[in-house]
Structure 1
Amino acid sequence: MSSSPLYLQIKQFILDNIESGRWPVGHRITTELELTEQFSVSRMTVNKAIRDLVADGILQRRPRLGTFVCAPEEKAESPLLDIRNIAEEVVSRGQRYHNKVISQHELIADDFVAIKLGVMVGTAVFYSEILHFANETPLQLEVRWVNARYAPHYLEQDFTRITPNQYLSENCPLSAIEHTVEAIVPDNHIKTTLALSASEPCLLLNRRTWSGDRLVSSALLYHPGSKYKLTSKIVLS
């Protein structure tokens, strides 16, 4: 039996039914009373699971009729050949942006970080890990390393008020970017943080940014594959 909280097990049960096609768009799901009996839990526990899925736009309550499966929301979209502040992206779509700072500290570069940031092993660098939301839905997990030499005040910032992207753009004017994109099988930390279902794909954008000839920042940006896409436009002469 799963050790996860009961309301999460109920959420997963509902998501599994939707993703398998057993409960298509427009389908009225099992009632709260039936779920209460099926999982031997309180009505409050079932209500929390359904309330979370309603907030995520997966389910819709209809008074006196029941709870129904919604059509998938249009995926959030970012330009692959440019850098946009995720807070501005979310607001431009009419959604509410907020974030949660998971970690923000100095660390010593190991082999992996040294290669990512172009510094010597043993160099002190800055690290931040931030979860970005659109309304109440996790949209991006940002894991970032910053060269402390070029952004010495990075750790002093309140990243609930200004995003790392905005701060670095204002203090280390962008001259070049490097992007690589890949689909990954997320580890448990990423899966839990982004609230991914068991079969949810994860999209990873690797980004490095330069200011002049200085490699300032390296970031790993994780997105729920069902809610996010990257696009590019190339004009041919």
Structure 2
Amino acid sequence: MQKSESRYIKVKRHIMDGIKNGLWQPGQQVPSENELVKLCQVSRMTARRALEELDSEGILYRVRGKGSFVAEEKHQSSLLEIKNIKTEVTNQGHQHRASLVEMSSIPATVELAELFRLPKDSNVFHSVIVHYQNNEPIQVEERFINPEVASDYLQQDFKSTTPNEYLTQIAPVTEAEHIIEAIVPEKQYYNLLNLEQDEAVLLLTRITWSFDNAVSYAKLYHPGKRYRLGSRFTPKA
């Protein structure tokens, strides 16, 4: 058993050392199972296990029918705090920019009208914004806004600021709900995130309240290979 473990760890170390030394850059393909069998003198099952573990650890990502590729360094966001993505990106030494896809007033669904406590025939504000880390899209932010709380939302310039910055100034968050899931979204989100059709997409659905008023219902789409969510907290005694 120990011999089998040391063999697949040897394969993992071979690939990780190559990435660390710049032999394989993010987005470049690493050796296939058959190539690793010859390079590392292991069985195909051992090579497959090493590639699968590196994929599950986020070091590689696999494309069906093509092979395994080096994953981009993942931008990490907090689960427990409502943070501004612009601040998160710049604090990690990268450049942030935003591209506005849509800003409009649309009829409220029954669910949104109930959430925002609006009459059934009301409109809500709707925005779709793509956030970039350097030149890579890392988030598509789709928001539905309570117009009773943020009446001038559609007049904001969300290329110079973000919805998060604007909303926390006029309606500080007192409560929030997060739901996280891996999904297969509509084709437009793959296009906006510059992803292949079969790549993983991580969706964070967030509802925020300011005291008694629901302010925002946001759907935040992230490329699974370039983004991760993490948190750390200290329980109170």
TM-score by length of 1: 0.69
Q: Is the 8 A contact 1:117 1:218 kept in 2?
A: no
Distance in 1 (alpha carbons) for counterparts of 2:177 and 2:120:
22
Distance in 2 (alpha carbons) for counterparts of 1:108 and 1:115:
13
Q: Is the 8 A contact 2:116 2:214 kept in 1?
A: yes
The letter for the 2-side match of 1:209 is: T
Which of 18, 26, 39 is the matching residue for 2:29? 18
Match of 1:72 in 2: 71
Q: CA deviation at 1:95?
A: 1.0
5+ unaligned residues in a row in structure 1: which ranges? 1-14, 25-57, 59-68
Match of 2:218 in 1: 219
Distance in 1 (alpha carbons) for counterparts of 2:200 and 2:104:
29
The letter for the 2-side match of 1:225 is: G
Matched, 1:137 2:136: yes
The letter for the 2-side match of 1:190 is: Y
5+ unaligned residues in a row in structure 2: which ranges? 1-25, 36-59, 61-67
Distance in 1 (alpha carbons) for counterparts of 2:28 and 2:91:
32
**SS of equivalent residue, structure 2 residue 165:** helix
**SS of equivalent residue, structure 1 residue 152:** coil
After superposition, the CA RMSD in angstroms is: 2.7
Q: CA deviation at 1:72?
A: 2.8
- Aligned positions of 1:123-162 closer than 5 A: 123-162=122-161
Q: CA deviation at 1:225?
A: 0.4
Q: Is the 8 A contact 1:117 1:145 kept in 2?
A: no
Cα 1:110–1:176, aligned 2, differ >3 Å: closer, same or farther? same
Matched, 1:178 2:177: yes
Match of 2:168 in 1: 169
**SS of equivalent residue, structure 1 residue 226:** helix
Deviations 1:155-194 (A, max 9, x none): 1101101100000011111111110100001221111111
Match of 1:46 in 2: none
Distance in 2 (alpha carbons) for counterparts of 1:156 and 1:197:
34
**SS of equivalent residue, structure 2 residue 29:** helix
Q: Is the 8 A contact 2:94 2:133 kept in 1?
A: yes
**SS of equivalent residue, structure 1 residue 100:** strand
Distance in 2 (alpha carbons) for counterparts of 1:73 and 1:108:
39
Percent of matched pairs sharing the same residue: 37
**Which of the pair has more CA radius of gyration?**
2
**SS of equivalent residue, structure 1 residue 173:** coil
Q: CA deviation at 1:110?
A: 2.0
Match of 1:206 in 2: 205
Deviations 1:22-54 (A, max 9, x none): 8x9xxxxxxxxxxxxxxxxxxxxxxxxxxxxxx
Distance in 1 (alpha carbons) for counterparts of 2:219 and 2:135:
22
Cα 1:103–1:21, aligned 2, differ >3 Å: closer, same or farther? farther
Q: How many residues are treated as equivalent by the alignment?
A: 180
